[in-house]
Structure 1
Amino acid sequence: MKKIKYNFLLLLILAELFNASTLRAKVSDPKKQNLRIQHFIQIWGLVKYKSEKSIAGKFDADNEFLSLIDSVKNAEENQFQQMMLKLVGPIATTSTSFSYRDQKNNTDYLLKNIDYSWINNSKYIVSLKQKLTVLSNQVNASGSHHYIPTVWYENTLPNELPYADYAFNDEKMNLLTLAKAWNAIEYLFPYKYMTDKNWKQVLVEMIPVFRNINDRTSYEKGLLMLAAAINDTHGGELMEIGNLKMTSTIFNVRYYPPFDYKAEAKGIVIKRFLTDSLAKLSELKSGDQIVAINGIEIKRWLKERAALLPASNDAVKYRNLSTSNNNRGDTFAFSNLSSGTLKVKVKRGKLSFNLVLEMLDLGNKQHIQLIQAAIIQKRLGEKKIKGLENIDNDITLVRAGNFFDKDLPNDNDLPKLSAALKSKKALIFDMRKYPQAPGLFSYYLPLLLGKAPFAFARYYAANLENPGSFVHRKQIENYMYVAKDGPKPFGDLYQGKIVILTDEHTQSMGEWFTMMLSQFNDNTTIIGSQTAGADGDVKRLTLPGAYRFSFTGNGIFYPDGKETQRVGIVPDIYFKMSPVELSGDEDAHLNRAIKYIRTGR
């Protein structure tokens, strides 16, 4: 009998041990943990951006996340839901709700991003669904928000700690980084609905990536993956000098070509060699088009190397792969090379050749000095370019990227300058570099050309009442500078030709002013190619490690409601330089504009 009791007791103990081990296996299942983390990030973000306590600054979002994440990922279903109920806390029911949510044709609000279908998760208990639904419908009537700028055009998202000394080896902090960035896009990025991949799916894919981060390199790569996923050229600010530290390691940038080049879908065009001696040593020539490298056709080659480059469209990806405006020595089109000797297929006119390209080595001090000298020389040449000049006495050219505040006219000179501009047959505005004197376009040019302030776009800013939606700002002051007591526009509206030059470097403010100039009179023409597709004031989120995660914060649309994001400013006359023109000394794009002014074609 004792033996039977002993065996029975042993079986009970073994059963308990088995059940305990099974429970631990369930809790430690990475897939289930990731699902818990996903749901937590979504609910945490809703509380951060929609709850009254968070809006008033009485909810320390970071601390709540860090204190809960370990328990959350290991919680069973019922435990998790009880934790989420506590996180949401009591919610005061309000009679004010968003009656305009279903008004799809109401241009006063941009509502395309709003989607709370995830709240109806079949596994959520009724009380949690009810709380989340009420929370999603709440109105913020305070006029401010602890985590959103009160002034719509301010750039920095407030009250986000930098954690400057972070060492990139803590899963909790890595997941906090993901949660902060993902929810900033969820609630404050007006073009979330335009991303290539569903934003919820991005979260699902990024959770294991951020859980596996263990050093600065993998952390920065994770940030780049997030920035690339929003399909927004403003996300490229992450790669600006002084932001990322591990660019060379992530992209494996070891070799540099002996020439400046432009990457395009059909090939890498050699513009000019860094020195005459390098040109003599190479079998390649300026104007050549590299159409394959080591047996890989160029479109595939470039696509692989652009995967982590944030951009709204392919035009910007090719821009980022090129050496144009390259002040850091990045040559991403030639990243991840195992050797400095490349077998290239080259197109030269109608002929094709298989040649060898010998790259410069960034581990060689002499090569580095040569590259630096070439970059400095290019910078010095750009400084000599005039911001304002006359062409044949009947055309005035304004280069937005070379006209600075110091070049703005004095008030006493305005009448004379107005008469001079209006006497011209045509005005050319070169928007191929970022404008350096915004006041020239928002104030002086309308004044000088007789143009009263006007709304030339639809401008949507984050709606503090309902984060996730955006409100149409209709006041003229949002579009142009309006002087209350200053001078009025001089005389009649200028009726001469206005030609605007655009390409992939026309970005943000450049696109904004291009939209304005294109509607100045009925005689305007845009000549160029696809622009950067990132118009609207940039927003910047501070992330652990003192990183800056940037994205377009306000929505800019044509007056008829068409997007400029990703699409860019559509030209009236499409123009891109040929390989021969790219390698030449003349500005073929400008020459095309002059030809149009002279001939009408």
Structure 2
Amino acid sequence: MYKIGANFCFFWMIILSSLSSCGQREESLNVNGENIDGFKKKPIGWSYSLNGEQNKAYQVTLDSTTKIKGKYSFLIKNIGNFSNFGAIDYPINRTFKGRLIELKGYIKTQDVNTGYAGIWLRIDGVEGAIAFDNMSKSGVRGTNDWKPYSIKLPYDSKSAKAIHIGGLLVGNGRAWYDGFELFIDGKPLEKTELIPFILKKSDSDTVYNRSSGIKISNLTPQLVNNLAIAGQFWGFLKYHHTAIAKGEYNWDAELFRLLPNVIQAKSNSELSKALENYLDRLPKLPICNECNSIQKNIALSPNYGFLFNHSILSKSLIEKLVFVKNNRNVNTNYYLSFNHYNGNPQFDHEKQYPSMIYPDAGYRLLSLFRYWTMINYYYPYKDVIGSDWNKVLMDYIPVFINARDKNEYVLAVLRLIATVNDTHANIWGGNNILNEIKGKFTVPFEANFIENKLVITGYLVDTLGVSSKFKIGDIITSINGKKVEEEVKRYLPITPASNYDTQLRDLPSSYLLRSNENSFHISLIRNEKVLTESINGIGSSNINNKYLYKDKVAYKLLSNNIGYLFPAKYKNSDLPEVRRLFKDTKGMIIDMRGYPRDFIVHEFGAYLKSMPSSFAKVSKAWSNLPGLFIYGSQIYNGVLSNNAYTGEIIILVNSETQSRGEFTTMAFQSSKKVKVLGSITAGADGDVSKIVLPGGINTMISGIGIFYPNGDRTQRVGVKIDYKVKPTILGIMTGKDELLEKAKELLK
């Protein structure tokens, strides 16, 4: 996973868009766009934009003169500033048999300087996107003649309900797209077997789709207790009871059928009776002969909250819950599956209810209970979140119930997410409400925390007006009359991250440097003098972290015969040239302060290591028992070789080193030649699992556990570091990269 700023939101507009695709189910496919509607003069089934703003900012036409296949190509041209990107989209509302999908297409560009051009591929389930790629890390920039490109994604025929393909242009310039082709498991789409869609009983239960009917006016301690146990009861049955696993119940709606009696219960005895009566109405479970327990390689054991507490619930109810646990579902679950490739939990058929901007009390409880349950049973790091997860549920019931409007609801969800302490966990996808809270404008410069001070470190707009007022190394003490240290305390609870350094990484761009007012009044310290400067902001949606690496190169030679590699720009195809260039160097610096562009663990690892060795082991949820995680086999890289790199290697890390960057660092530091230099990394390793919540809220968690071979974790604490070095304000002022300089010194 990589760092995602506020500016990442425009990519998610593609993920979350719901373009019309009616009337396409029976006619032949038009993937290549060559079948033209004679009346509309457009390719049948294709859409030319995702919203009205794109129509104002990007013009889409068919071009019969510039093409590489067939009669036409698509041309997207930037003509305004109303949107950050333009896109074409072709939806296919069919499910196919297979496991890997590939989109191929050709792109030609002209003057694409501020963004990139790419093809994009999205797989949708019942409730939205389940896989997506838009070439955001490998987009086409500048002016280029026709070249072929491809995207591959895992394809789960059990969850996939639709496919979207297209092209997009981010920023300025123009781009042509042609020759679109789709393949599943290497076969052309038209030759791939179709799978019919079967409607489950849960999908036909729509009674509560508009309102839960739940109202709570007086939140007493007994009611908080009742709701917490009801949430645990509901979540336990969701992942244990066979009838629910078969998709025979709309489990969201069942919560609203359960809650009225729970709310009316005046004691634990009445609560037990309400829960037991509900349980008795569910189908009787058959005896399970496969529900055995596992005793070895346990990474994390299940926790059932208060459900088996005899001082709270009745003996007869507990006995029935124990029976459910001992005869639980061990087959496929309508609400859960596991990724074929990495074992991540996939939370299937979860409804987002995007039109409920401010959900009612019942739906707010559903949001809390759904998230709590997913973490309770399928989060690999629940034991290190830093708080009692059962207490979190109790504490957040009043927060969610008392949320008075859409803003308070979104912030309640964000605070809940932050309690998990996972840098992968946040509200993603350009949530409009959260963006309004953060602010439409940002200052036109970068600032980061250096020596616990907010320090200007770069410019986002290259104009004299900015650089004449604000200097690199200036210390910001207040913004619009608000002291920085007070604002840090204010926003920390709604800045999800695995550790404090990573919270400080995200605070400036998320909150401190943003406002809904376009004028910023900033107090500074420069050379021990206090200054005040004012400047107009720029649109926060116009900034994209992806372009902060524009001055970096993938690899080069430094002075003193040292090789330098920047994985955020390096591609696996660069390896032969790197081998040639670094052949006689005495040392190598791998700058992991960014998200690696390619997965280089094995190919580049084979260059660094002359023999294989283990560098990590993984914990995964055991499908037979919700809440149980077991350790898998160890992961190796390196090959037996006489052609490995022989010099010493230093890897540079900081809070920008996250997920794939951390995993890659672990892989490389398993070599005795490698040392790691820098400061604590983001502490969020393990492929992500997506979670959707009422109100159209999208979030994620680290879905599998990543550990060193000896069991030491990286979650929250980051990778192991040999030399702890942080930048200083003096170094920023003088333009020194102090981590790089220290690494060069060590390699002398």
TM-score (norm: length of structure 2): 0.64
1:344-400 Cα offsets, whole Å, 9 max, x none, are: 46363xx3x443243535xxxxx55xx888x58x96673352212222483322211
1:83 corresponding residue in structure 2: 274
Q: Provide the C-alpha distance between the structure 1 equivalents of 2:234 and 2:271, rounded to a whole number of angstroms.
A: 13
Residue 281 to residue 475, structure 1, CA distance change in 2 (3 Å): closer
- Of residues 386, 389, 405, the one that matches 2:553 is 386
1:480-502 Cα offsets, whole Å, 9 max, x none, are: 59xxxxxx654254442111110
Residue 293 to residue 113, structure 1, CA distance change in 2 (3 Å): farther
- Is the 8 Å Cα contact of residues 270 and 583 (structure 1) preserved in structure 2? no
Residue 523 to residue 470, structure 1, CA distance change in 2 (3 Å): same
Q: Which amino acid aligns with 2:606?
A: L
1:269 corresponding residue in structure 2: 455
Confirm or deny that 1:465 pairs with 2:624. Answer: yes
Residue 569 to residue 280, structure 1, CA distance change in 2 (3 Å): closer
- Is the 8 Å Cα contact of residues 620 and 632 (structure 2) preserved in structure 1? yes
1:524 corresponding residue in structure 2: 674
- Structure number with the bigger relative contact order (C-alpha 8 A, sep ≥ 6) is 1
Q: CA deviation at 1:86?
A: 4.0
SS at match of 1:322: helix
Confirm or deny that 1:360 pairs with 2:536. Answer: yes
Confirm or deny that 1:169 pairs with 2:345. Answer: no
Q: CA deviation at 1:584?
A: 4.4
Q: Structure 2: 5+ residue runs without aligned partners?
A: 1-215
1:401 corresponding residue in structure 2: 568
Residue 276 to residue 442, structure 1, CA distance change in 2 (3 Å): closer
The residue correspondences of 1:63-462 to structure 2 (distance < 5 A) are 63-77=253-267, 78-88=269-279, 89=282, 90-94=284-288, 99-100=293-294, 106=296, 108-111=297-300, 114=303, 116=305, 118-138=307-327, 140-142=329-331, 146-149=335-338, 151=340, 152-154=342-344, 156-213=346-403, 215-236=405-426, 238-239=427-428, 242-251=429-438, 253=439, 256-257=442-443, 259-264=445-450, 266-272=452-458, 274-275=461-462, 277-279=464-466, 282=469, 285-291=471-477, 298-323=484-509, 330=510, 332-334=511-513, 344=523, 346=525, 348=527, 351=528, 353-361=529-537, 368=539, 375=543, 382-392=549-559, 394-404=561-571, 407-408=573-574, 418=579, 421=582, 423-438=584-599, 441-462=600-621
1:13-36 Cα offsets, whole Å, 9 max, x none, are: xxxxxxxxxxxxxx9642233322
Moved more, 291-300 or 132-141: 291-300
Residue 69 to residue 335, structure 1, CA distance change in 2 (3 Å): farther
Residue 322 to residue 71, structure 1, CA distance change in 2 (3 Å): same
Q: Provide the C-alpha distance between the structure 2 equivalents of 1:144 and 1:30, rounded to a whole number of angstroms.
A: 34
Q: Provide the C-alpha distance between the structure 1 equivalents of 2:495 and 2:505, rounded to a whole number of angstroms.
A: 10
Q: Provide the C-alpha distance between the structure 1 equivalents of 2:401 and 2:306, rounded to a whole number of angstroms.
A: 26
2:122 corresponding residue in structure 1: none
- Is the 8 Å Cα contact of residues 242 and 329 (structure 2) preserved in structure 1? yes
- Is the 8 Å Cα contact of residues 287 and 580 (structure 1) preserved in structure 2? yes
- Is the 8 Å Cα contact of residues 501 and 589 (structure 1) preserved in structure 2? yes
2:202 corresponding residue in structure 1: none
TM-score (norm: length of structure 1): 0.78
Q: CA deviation at 1:99?
A: 4.8
Q: Provide the C-alpha distance between the structure 2 equivalents of 1:343 and 1:87, rounded to a whole number of angstroms.
A: 59
- Of residues 545, 554, 557, the one that matches 2:695 is 545
- Is the 8 Å Cα contact of residues 690 and 700 (structure 2) preserved in structure 1? yes
- Is the 8 Å Cα contact of residues 432 and 503 (structure 1) preserved in structure 2? yes
2:232 corresponding residue in structure 1: 42
Q: CA deviation at 1:569?
A: 1.1
Q: Provide the C-alpha distance between the structure 1 equivalents of 2:244 and 2:445, rounded to a whole number of angstroms.
A: 54
- Is the 8 Å Cα contact of residues 334 and 348 (structure 2) preserved in structure 1? no
- Is the 8 Å Cα contact of residues 612 and 640 (structure 2) preserved in structure 1? no
SS at match of 1:548: strand
2:659 corresponding residue in structure 1: 508
SS at match of 1:428: strand
Q: Provide the C-alpha distance between the structure 2 equivalents of 1:301 and 1:166, rounded to a whole number of angstroms.
A: 30
Identity across aligned pairs (percent)?
Answer: 26
- Is the 8 Å Cα contact of residues 234 and 550 (structure 1) preserved in structure 2? yes
Q: CA deviation at 1:312?
A: 0.6
Q: Which has the higher strand share?
A: 2
Q: Provide the C-alpha distance between the structure 2 equivalents of 1:65 and 1:212, rounded to a whole number of angstroms.
A: 19
Residue 342 to residue 265, structure 1, CA distance change in 2 (3 Å): farther
Residue 379 to residue 420, structure 1, CA distance change in 2 (3 Å): closer
Q: Which has the higher helix share?
A: 1
- Is the 8 Å Cα contact of residues 243 and 548 (structure 1) preserved in structure 2? no
- Is the 8 Å Cα contact of residues 337 and 347 (structure 2) preserved in structure 1? yes
Q: CA deviation at 1:597?
A: 0.8
Q: CA deviation at 1:47?
A: 0.7
1:161-208 Cα offsets, whole Å, 9 max, x none, are: 232333423222221111111111111111112223321122112212
Residue 38 to residue 379, structure 1, CA distance change in 2 (3 Å): closer
Q: CA deviation at 1:593?
A: 1.4
- Is the 8 Å Cα contact of residues 442 and 480 (structure 1) preserved in structure 2? yes
Q: CA deviation at 1:64?
A: 1.3
Residue 465 to residue 213, structure 1, CA distance change in 2 (3 Å): same
Q: CA deviation at 1:423?
A: 3.9
1:48-82 Cα offsets, whole Å, 9 max, x none, are: 12223333434432221132223322234455323
- Is the 8 Å Cα contact of residues 233 and 312 (structure 1) preserved in structure 2? yes
Moved more, 548-557 or 149-158: 149-158
Q: Provide the C-alpha distance between the structure 2 equivalents of 1:494 and 1:379, rounded to a whole number of angstroms.
A: 30
- Is the 8 Å Cα contact of residues 689 and 701 (structure 2) preserved in structure 1? yes
Residue 596 to residue 190, structure 1, CA distance change in 2 (3 Å): same
Residue correspondences, number: 526
Q: Provide the C-alpha distance between the structure 2 equivalents of 1:548 and 1:380, rounded to a whole number of angstroms.
A: 24
- When the two chains are superposed, the root-mean-square deviation of aligned CA atoms in Å is 3.3
Moved more, 570-579 or 47-56: 47-56
1:534-588 Cα offsets, whole Å, 9 max, x none, are: 0111111122233222111111122222221111113111111111322444533
- Computing the radius of gyration from Cα coordinates, the structure with the larger value is 1
- Is the 8 Å Cα contact of residues 446 and 453 (structure 1) preserved in structure 2? no
Q: Provide the C-alpha distance between the structure 2 equivalents of 1:138 and 1:418, rounded to a whole number of angstroms.
A: 57
Q: CA deviation at 1:37?
A: 1.4
Q: Which amino acid aligns with 1:189?
A: Y
- Is the 8 Å Cα contact of residues 291 and 347 (structure 1) preserved in structure 2? no
Q: Which amino acid aligns with 1:249?
A: E
Residue 254 to residue 55, structure 1, CA distance change in 2 (3 Å): closer
- Is the 8 Å Cα contact of residues 418 and 490 (structure 1) preserved in structure 2? no
- Is the 8 Å Cα contact of residues 140 and 464 (structure 1) preserved in structure 2? no
- Is the 8 Å Cα contact of residues 562 and 589 (structure 2) preserved in structure 1? yes
